[in-house]
Structure 1
């Protein structure tokens, strides 16, 4: 007997399914790495990669189509500023909400280098805790931050409370940390437990009755690169990280698997990722539906 599947879940069922997928991923990763250490800044080693100019930002153009010159934008989970800094050139003010100290430092440097004095950096986790004064804006943006948010309903509700006109989310078709399945299973001995991504998020928003606009963007072209560079860059995504037990042996094994599963010949390899395209999802905030 097969389980009953509904294509029109209730908001409660959609939110519960999203939360369960996030919780399952967290439990699976902890079974590999152990529990998170209190006070650990997960992004400390990689924050510089999220500065403006370090990676393509094809989502910027459709986001700017939502902007007006006098706007204040909330960039929730602003990271190193790859959205906040270019947005600040087009709108009156950007409030960059970011809990990671390493990311805030990168963002502050990037804003200073770009001469953007209209970016306010706020140290805050989202959604804000009870009684916390959260900033408001005309548009609330969350770019590539919802994949691992278990209480996605609370996160979205806080976005909507603090946006005067529009809410916008950037999401990939697959969570950015989704590995090549065969490579991961050979490396860790078990199937990867995926996070929710674009499909699941849109399902949640539709179940919540939101009138969403989804703008998919063309896949970004990828080129093969030197195998050693690819292995060094993507080892982190495969949870092969300095400080782990047997790091050097695990890194060598990862390099071998990248060559086997993603090799392009002549010492080159394709990036070992499965995500293909991103989308900008937007919907009217309360009072603008």
Structure 2
């Protein structure tokens, strides 16, 4: 059942924003190949971004099976595996998945199953908690994605999303490099509206301690990452273009560039298809 919220068709709005952003430039077969090593380092040093892990932990029980859609290098799957019975981690990127498998093996985690499929799956694994962190910003077929999450969840579903898509923080840098404004992506509030339009009783909770500004170091590793994010080849010339754009658009503090504040992370939750009423409440903070 779909319910219109005011005069806005949020499903169409979400899909249009995601499609416009995804149409920007060519996409390699494994877009994360050049970024997996950096993501791996960040996920290990950030300990899974403690604030968001605490948010997920509030909707997860020790006996639960959790399904992580778009697990990356294990930023959330690895620490969450220590708080529940089992984690099924889906990661279609070979580069990301290789890092995730290595980390699981290094840490001797026997309750993490890594799979390489993309969501939605033809045959969905059942889980008590089904969640996806920072994935749906570019999902055009958002209805199928969310409805498959709902169908797979015995109790609760969750999305971790910024109130403002991280790529939107780079709009001024992108414009300085390319001369055009990059399309805006949908984020947490649009996802919440879509869920309500689908007739799902979703709630949004702000995760405390996650409202840090987006910063990049003035070093080759960070500038390569920034070049990839704004669609520039991460070679010497590309890094020079990015550094020039930063100088024209951003504030420098010591050896770092403060790009923008994308706001805090939101935890969006809604009942799974097999849920009981007592398991569907949003986390209290």
Task: Decide: shared fold, TM above 0.5.
Answer: yes
In structure 1, the residue corresponding to 2:88 is in which secondary structure? strand
How big is each residue's C-alpha offset from its partner over 1:34-85, in whole Å with a ceiling of 9 and x where there is no partner?
A: x335xx1111111133333243342100110111111100011111111111
In structure 1, the residue corresponding to 2:136 is in which secondary structure? coil
- 1:113 matched to 2:106? The reply is yes
Instruction: In structure 1, list runs of 5 or more residues that go unmatched.
Output: 1-5
Q: Counterpart in 2 of 1:270?
A: 257
Q: Counterpart in 1 of 2:80?
A: 87
Larger Rg: 1
* Structural RMSD (CA): 2.2
Aligned match of 1:50 in 14, 18, 39?
A: 39
Q: Counterpart in 2 of 1:158?
A: 148
Q: CA deviation at 1:228?
A: 3.0
Q: CA deviation at 1:286?
A: 1.9
Q: CA deviation at 1:214?
A: 1.2
- 1:22 matched to 2:18? The reply is yes
- 1:228 matched to 2:219? The reply is yes
Q: CA deviation at 1:207?
A: 1.6
Aligned match of 2:198 in 193, 208, 211?
A: 208
Q: Counterpart in 1 of 2:6?
A: 8
Q: How does 1:176-191 map to 2 (within 5 A)?
A: 176-191=166-181
CA shift in 2, pair 1:140/1:22, >3 Å: same
Distance 1:74 1:24 in 2: 29
Distance 1:153 1:120 in 2: 26
CA shift in 2, pair 1:98/1:213, >3 Å: same
Distance 1:186 1:226 in 2: 18
Aligned match of 2:89 in 91, 96, 100?
A: 96
In structure 2, the residue corresponding to 1:281 is in which secondary structure? strand
Distance 2:7 2:214 in 1: 40
Mapped contact 1:179–1:238 kept (Cα < 8 A): no
Instruction: In structure 2, list runs of 5 or more residues that go unmatched.
Output: 278-285
Query: Which range moved further: 198-207 or 178-187?
Result: 178-187
Q: CA deviation at 1:250?
A: 3.1
Aligned match of 2:188 in 177, 198, 203?
A: 198
Distance 2:225 2:258 in 1: 9
Distance 2:7 2:44 in 1: 40
Distance 2:199 2:268 in 1: 14
Distance 2:210 2:51 in 1: 9
Query: Which range moved further: 154-163 or 227-236?
Result: 227-236
Q: CA deviation at 1:15?
A: 1.1
Count of residue pairs the alignment pairs up: 267
Aligned match of 1:36 in 27, 31, 36?
A: 27
CA shift in 2, pair 1:200/1:74, >3 Å: same
In structure 2, the residue corresponding to 1:58 is in which secondary structure? helix
